[in-house]
Amino acid sequence: MTQRIINFNPGPCALPLPALQTAQAELLDFQGTGMSIMEISHRSKEYEAVHNEAKSLILEHLGFDAAEWDVLFLGGGAHLQFFMVPYNFLGDGRKADYVNTGTWSKGAIKEARLLFPEAIREAASTEADRFDHVPRWEEIEVDPQAAYVHLTSNNTIFGTQWPTLPTKSPVPVFVDMSSDFLARRIDGQAIDLIYAGAQKNAGPAGVTIVVLRKGAVERCRKGISAMLSYKTHLDANSLYNTPPCFSIYMVRNVMRWIRDSGGIDAIEAANRKKGELLYGCLDRNPGFFKPHARPDSRSLMNVTFRLPSEEFEAKLIADAKKAGFQGLKGHRSVGGIRVSMYNAISVANIEALVSFLEEFARTV
Amino acid sequence: MTQRIINFNPGPCALPLPALQTAQAELLDFQGTGMSIMEISHRSKEYEAVHNEAKSLILEHLGFDAAEWDVLFLGGGAHLQFFMVPYNFLGDGRKADYVNTGTWSKGAIKEARLLFPEAIREAASTEADRFDHVPRWEEIEVDPQAAYVHLTSNNTIFGTQWPTLPTKSPVPVFVDMSSDFLARRIDGQAIDLIYAGAQKNAGPAGVTIVVLRKGAVERCRKGISAMLSYKTHLDANSLYNTPPCFSIYMVRNVMRWIRDSGGIDAIEAANRKKGELLYGCLDRNPGFFKPHARPDSRSLMNVTFRLPSEEFEAKLIADAKKAGFQGLKGHRSVGGIRVSMYNAISVANIEALVSFLEEFARTV
């Protein structure tokens, strides 16, 4: 019998057990084909069914109409999207606004500026406050001439998250949703593009999901590299070249698990419950647990906090590991503790962690 | 009991059964961690051991000295290398020579020309002969001012392969080895860069392996996108961002299988034996089987041939499927039959196919 631990890794991270069990059961023989899903042609009807089911379920869980949205599966990670977004949507004198809420926002800004140094404006930043919150959307003056405004919806390292995404914007909103994709219901009316590395809520590393409003690619620059053009992949249903088939298959399995778990609303309810439990524990011990994020920007995905000393932090991580809780060390750039509790982490997992934390605070 | 078929798919394609069995056995608990390999941090010591073992075994099987060569694991497929090669190694007025031996060579040339329209010269082409052979290296006049000369070592669609790779060249040789990577011993002395999508001989789709001579990146252009820079990935041991971990893990498993099979020389011997068996069968029935490739350019990976009529071809494919042979349909651009017999296809598999083909030719 396999002994599974409780895995709070920030990504790659815990995946839903049923998604893994399905993969394991059929790893040598996918649906009676006599082949592994890894051995099947990406042009076969068996693979295309998986590919298209993954797309459909993503839109279904987002609550996005398939008549208005497309889904792409790309390689290279969200980092490649830092490049592809400006590469496709800027040039020809166009400019863009970026909101800087942490390390990944900065990465996106840096790549965009390498490409178009004069085109990128930081419309807002919370760096002066050590990224302990996200700005209020209403207070940002977005350039109405910008091709898009780019946000990072959740900041894994600092543990902040936009409480809601903008529903009104003078220009299309593009969102890096790598770390809170499909964690809650969102309103997509102001959004034209979402991208997300799969390896938090959607599947294993190796595929990036891009959700694009239909028609948006018409604004993409012409004459660009075929492989780095959204239009290429859109026109080919992400089968222009061999896609990362197994990662997409795993995304399909995870999307089925979301469906079987009651859909996005049930996922969101569990995430909110997990947040109440864990932040509740931190707030009940204010002298001991010091959360990094301001209350109005608290992430439901990554909860970051410090203890009174680094020694306590080291002891907490070591004791937690003995108790079966893995991956609680904060990112090297901020230190402390980070609890990453993506969709596959259950309410029961957080209840268990909270018991451990309460006991630790009481007895250490 | 799993019923596995004989899988002649051109890629994704058959993988060694032991590589898949290992993955299946430990899919829910990788080496006692209590986590799937898909759930483990790419910064963990467990994952890094897999990553580095895969790199070492690749160099070992290539017979390349780790003091002189580096290995990168990148996303985006070999198609992204069509872009990255010129993006990194051209610009600043530099130019490159390309040898056009088929569809993938043309793809590489097309992407390079989108980027640097004036910089790319087709140094040789066999298109006028419907790509039924590769040119003789000695007859190509490589521009001594070129930054590199680009070859495609094996042409999946036309079934041709360079009988040997150049060992002397006035400029560094860059090779797209996607479809015959680790199929035979090669001499790397004239080569500076090899790239290969994993999904033929090295693993599943989702990772591209780049083998780079140390120091070559010093010639790369400065100020380019971080994600699309070889130097970025080299400096970070391919861990600049989250890599396609599971695909790399599968590459590790396949590299172990090559080692356990007796290494590259045993693999090459099996591939040569498979070629003798299958081409022998075709040559014994010259009125019935019409190979596309000229004898001096025959591929040991993809064997392409026509039958006297399309009706015969359709019947062969249908009868073969009933007999347990999958994936024999030729590429849509050339038609006919294609037998892709990458490393994971055994001599016994080809013996079985040859019996079937002989019987088919005799009785149809």
pLDDT in tens, B206-222: 999 999 999 999 999 99
pLDDT on residue A1:
46
Question: What residues of B act catalytically?
Answer: 104, 176, 200
| pLDDT tens string B256-312 | 999 999 999 999 999 999 999 999 999 999 999 999 999 999 999 999 999 999 999
Q: How confident is the model at residue B78 (pLDDT cuts 50, 70, 90)?
A: very high
Q: Is B10 on the interface with A (CB under 8 A)?
A: yes
Active site (annotated) includes residue A176 = yes
Q: How confident is the model at residue B138 (pLDDT cuts 50, 70, 90)?
A: very high
Would the ipTM clear 0.90, i.e. be above it?
Answer: yes
pLDDT on residue B334:
85
pTM beyond 0.95: the answer is: yes
Hey, which residues 15-44 in chain B have their CB within 8 Å of chain A? 15, 17, 20-21, 23-24, 27-29, 33-36, 38-42
Mutation target to probe the B interface, by most B beta carbons within 10 A, among A9, A199, A242, A326 is: A242
pLDDT on residue A2:
57
Average pLDDT, chain B: 97
Q: What does the pLDDT average to over A208-218?
A: 98
Q: What is the dihedral of CA B120, B200, B241, A328, to 10 degrees?
A: 180
Gap from B156 CA to chain A (nearest CA, Å): 14
Residues of chain B contacting A111 with CB distance shorter than 8 Å: 225-227
Gap from A223 CA to chain B (nearest CA, Å): 7
Closest CA to A354 of A295, A276, A297: A276
Q: How confident is the model at residue A183 (pLDDT cuts 50, 70, 90)?
A: very high
Gap from A326 CA to chain B (nearest CA, Å): 10
CB contact under 8 A, B245 and A197: no
Determine the Cα angle at B319 with ends B312 and B305, to 5°.
45
Residues of chain B contacting A223 with CB distance shorter than 8 Å: 114
Q: Is B331 on the interface with A (CB under 8 A)?
A: no
Nearest to B111 among A77, A110, A227 (CB): A227
Active site (annotated) includes residue A69 = no
CB contact under 8 A, B246 and A246: yes
CB-count burial class (<10 Å; 0-12, 13-18, 19+) for A237:
middle
Q: What does the pLDDT average to over B180-201?
A: 98
pLDDT on residue A168:
97
pLDDT on residue A94:
98
Count CB neighbours of A254 within 10 A.
27
Q: Is A78 on the interface with B (CB under 8 A)?
A: yes
Q: What is the 3-state secondary structure (H, E, C) of chain B?
A: CCCCCEECCCCCCCCCHHHHHHHHHCCCCCCCCCCCHHHCCCCCHHHHHHHHHHHHHHHHHHCCCCCCEEEEEECCHHHHHHHHHHHHHCECCECEEEEECCHHHHHHHHHHHHHCCCCEEEEEECHHHCCCCCCCHHHCCCCCCCCCEEEECEECCCCEECCCCCCCCCCCEEEECCCCCCCCCCCCCCEEEEEEECCCCCCCCCCEEEEEECCHHHHCCCCCCCCCCHHHHHHCCCCCCCCCHHHHHHHHHHHHHHHHCCHHHHHHHHHHHHHHHHHHHHHHCCCCCEECCCHHHECCCEEEEECCCHHHHHHHHHHHHHCCEECCECCCCCCCEEEECCCCCCHHHHHHHHHHHHHHHHHC
Which chain A residue shows the shortest CA-CA distance from B42?
A12
Q: How confident is the model at residue A125 (pLDDT cuts 50, 70, 90)?
A: very high
pLDDT on residue B1:
46
Residues of chain B contacting A78 with CB distance shorter than 8 Å: 241
Nearest to A7 among B35, B199, B244 (CB): B35
* Dist. CA A171–CA A190, nearest whole Å: 8
CB contact under 8 A, A80 and B75: yes
CB contact under 8 A, B244 and A244: yes
Residues of chain B contacting A242 with CB distance shorter than 8 Å: 11-12, 77, 197, 199, 205
Which chain A residue shows the shortest CA-CA distance from B9?
A41
Tell whether the model's pLDDT for residue A174 goes beyond 80. yes
Q: Is A2 on the interface with B (CB under 8 A)?
A: yes
Catalytic residue (choose from A200, A257, A274, A329) = A200
Residues of chain B contacting A11 with CB distance shorter than 8 Å: 41, 242
| pLDDT tens string A244-261 | 999 999 999 999 999 999
pLDDT on residue B2:
56
Nearest to A29 among B2, B36, B114 (CB): B2
Tell whether the model's pLDDT for residue A276 goes beyond 50. yes
